[in-house]
Structure 1
Amino acid sequence: MSAASRRLPAALLCLAALATVAASCDGGGPGGASGGPGGTPSQSASSIFDKPSVTVAVKKGQPGFNTRSGEEYEYAGFETDLLNALADDVGFKKYTHDIPSLRREDILLDQGADLVIATYTITDARDEKIDFTAPYMKTYQGILVQKGDSEIKKLKDVDGKRVCSASGSTSDPGSVEGEQAQKSIRETLGQNVKPGFRKDYKTCVKELADGNFDAVWTDRLVLEGFAHQKPYEDHVKVVEDIKIDKQQYYGIGIREKHGADCRRLNRSLKKFLDTRWRMTFQQHFPDLDEGDFEQRYKPSDPEFENYRATSCGAK
């Protein structure tokens, strides 16, 4: 063997060692700590979709979105169908359980759930604690009153009335920090409104029907769900001429540092909006299936893309 031949294995060993060091510095490739494009750190330490089942927090008792019924007491509604479509497309098994509005951030932070799909409005305050996907629904806020109410016709008529909403919702001043932000929510309906907060909207609607409140305030689409489904439709109605100019966009909540999982959900959400949103909405909100309902409730392509650009921790 020549001297040159004897030096060749040693050179190959050196090259192998250098490759190992480079791989270690790079995080070991796509699955490592720096698996993002261009060498940028990846947000996802591990995928929630690799778990045996993904825990999803939902809100029951919201007609149109999520209710439980039937012999097996199963969930049914727009958000249930959305979850099923995402699970099929992304490829994960799911386990669902019910939570109140007040617990949505906490259950993600405490790792009691992997996802929250529960009429969850995307806000800056919430986005500081958890991440959101792009939206799958939009709606203005509105007012629900008793069926026979003839006093509340315009927003100014709500001032001085007893108004119920859910704790932890965007209608609750306690859902935001800062005196000015809290004051802005309190004065949305008028300075003299007498607010009351309950654990969920179902309780608010029941107390409205019983006369404990004069109105319920939240997202109009949530209120329409109650107003058009039994047993509530005989007792309450949405005030047609009140549209509170604060549009809400619903997204899926997910813990931070799961950017790759969040982006996978975004891709599936876009597919759902393009192919199944209209049919699903018509099935669960049949009384709203007229006119420009898609313009009113479905995020447009530009809206979706604007939110997608700042979603999943990109903000």
Structure 2
Amino acid sequence: MKKWTLLALLLAVLMVLAACGDSEEEAGGGESGEGESYRVGIDTTYPPFEFEDAGEYTGIDIDLINAIAENQGFEIDFNPMDFGGIIPALQADQLDVAIAGMSITDERKEIVDFSDPYFDAGLSLVVAEDNSDITSLDDLEGKTVAVKSGTTGAQFARDNEAEYGYEISQFEDSPSMFQEVSNGNADVLLEDYPVIAYAIAESELALKTVGERLTGDQYGIAVLKGENAELLEKINAGLQELRDSGEYDEILNKYIAE
């Protein structure tokens, strides 16, 4: 009888020690924060910020978030998708963070928290290379304006549709929108200036920008509002360190000629 009692006591002690060890290990991992992995939403149809080259993700946004992750000691897992699906994916807990040439707007701030701005952009009017009829918003009455779904360009077009009397045609990706204007099915498109300038230069598109920039947008990195505050803090800290070290400028200069 005593033999079985002693054995049971020893087993109970071993179980308690094992449980304590597991608890300490879990607590230690939570305190360090190192080795955390975050799901990052991107839109790979958006050069020079995000695109694929020889099967690899590349661009300003890709290099920037990779550098921030390395600086702050966390891992990232890229999740490519249509731009319009990125914020819904954050809301559905399918993503932890988004970097996709996303303009900081009051409307988006109701759903996400943004990092410090990392790029100054702005919308431009873009027409076919041989188009001399359109030079400003005042020339758009009765015209068809192509926009990319979910973008600030699409929102700008909706906000000004009644005033300038044009029709809107929406697309899920930038290349399709560019082609629509190139082949004459749409008269003009709205796109962020650095994106269209890069596309025209690199792809020899038969397009040109006209007029002044319509907005003064800034891009930010987003997390779901009220969530992942610690991650947002790391992103801002990493972004500032990249600016201070000069690596931020090196990344921009790699894709955008001064």
2:222 is aligned to 253
2:57 is aligned to 75
Match of 1:200 among 157, 164, 173: 173
1:225 is aligned to 198
How far apart are residue 51 of structure 1 and its match?
6.3
Alpha carbons of 1:234 and 1:205: their partners in 2 closer, same or farther (altered >3 Å)?
closer
Aligned mates of 2:99, 2:248 — CA distance in 1: 15
**Structure 2 counterpart of 1:206, which letter?**
Q
Aligned mates of 2:73, 2:45 — CA distance in 1: 27
Match of 2:242 among 247, 263, 272: 272
1:141 is aligned to 123
1:39 is aligned to none
Alpha carbons of 1:111 and 1:50: their partners in 2 closer, same or farther (altered >3 Å)?
farther
Aligned mates of 2:130, 2:158 — CA distance in 1: 31
- The one-character-per-residue Cα deviations of 1:21-79 (angstroms, maximum 9, x if unpaired) are xxxxxxxxxx9xxxxxxxxxxxxxx89x6665321111112221111121xx0111111
1:1-315 paired onto structure 2 within 5 Å: 53-70=37-54, 73-173=55-155, 184-187=159-162, 190-230=163-203, 233-239=204-210, 241-244=211-214, 246-255=215-224, 256-274=226-244, 275-286=246-257, 289=258
The 8 Å contact of residues 63 and 251 in structure 2, kept in 1 or not, is answered as yes
How far apart are residue 277 of structure 1 and its match?
2.6
Secondary structure of 2:68's partner? helix
Aligned mates of 2:229, 2:160 — CA distance in 1: 31
The 8 Å contact of residues 199 and 205 in structure 2, kept in 1 or not, is answered as no
1:36 is aligned to none
Aligned mates of 1:196, 1:142 — CA distance in 2: 17
Secondary structure of 1:172's partner? helix
**Structure 1 counterpart of 2:202, which letter?**
Q
- More helix by proportion, 1 or 2? 2
**Structure 1 counterpart of 2:73, which letter?**
G
Secondary structure of 1:229's partner? helix
TM-score by length of 2: 0.80
The 8 Å contact of residues 165 and 217 in structure 1, kept in 2 or not, is answered as yes
How far apart are residue 185 of structure 1 and its match?
4.0
Aligned pairs, how many? 227
Secondary structure of 1:131's partner? strand
How far apart are residue 221 of structure 1 and its match?
1.8
The 8 Å contact of residues 102 and 220 in structure 2, kept in 1 or not, is answered as yes
Q: Which structure 2 residue ranges, 5 or more long, are not aligned?
A: 1-26
- The one-character-per-residue Cα deviations of 1:66-93 (angstroms, maximum 9, x if unpaired) are 11121xx011111111011111101122
Aligned mates of 2:132, 2:159 — CA distance in 1: 27
Alpha carbons of 1:183 and 1:214: their partners in 2 closer, same or farther (altered >3 Å)?
closer
Tell me the percent identity.
24
Aligned mates of 1:153, 1:281 — CA distance in 2: 29
| Aligned Cα root-mean-square deviation (Å) | 2.2
The 8 Å contact of residues 61 and 67 in structure 1, kept in 2 or not, is answered as yes
Secondary structure of 1:151's partner? coil
The 8 Å contact of residues 140 and 164 in structure 2, kept in 1 or not, is answered as no
Q: Which structure 1 residue ranges, 5 or more long, are not aligned?
A: 1-30, 32-45, 176-181, 290-315
Secondary structure of 2:195's partner? helix
- The one-character-per-residue Cα deviations of 1:206-229 (angstroms, maximum 9, x if unpaired) are 221222111110322222122221
Secondary structure of 2:189's partner? strand
The 8 Å contact of residues 62 and 225 in structure 1, kept in 2 or not, is answered as no
Secondary structure of 1:247's partner? coil
The 8 Å contact of residues 127 and 209 in structure 2, kept in 1 or not, is answered as yes
The 8 Å contact of residues 152 and 158 in structure 1, kept in 2 or not, is answered as yes
The 8 Å contact of residues 43 and 50 in structure 2, kept in 1 or not, is answered as yes
TM-score by length of 1: 0.66
- More strand by proportion, 1 or 2? 2
How far apart are residue 183 of structure 1 and its match?
6.2
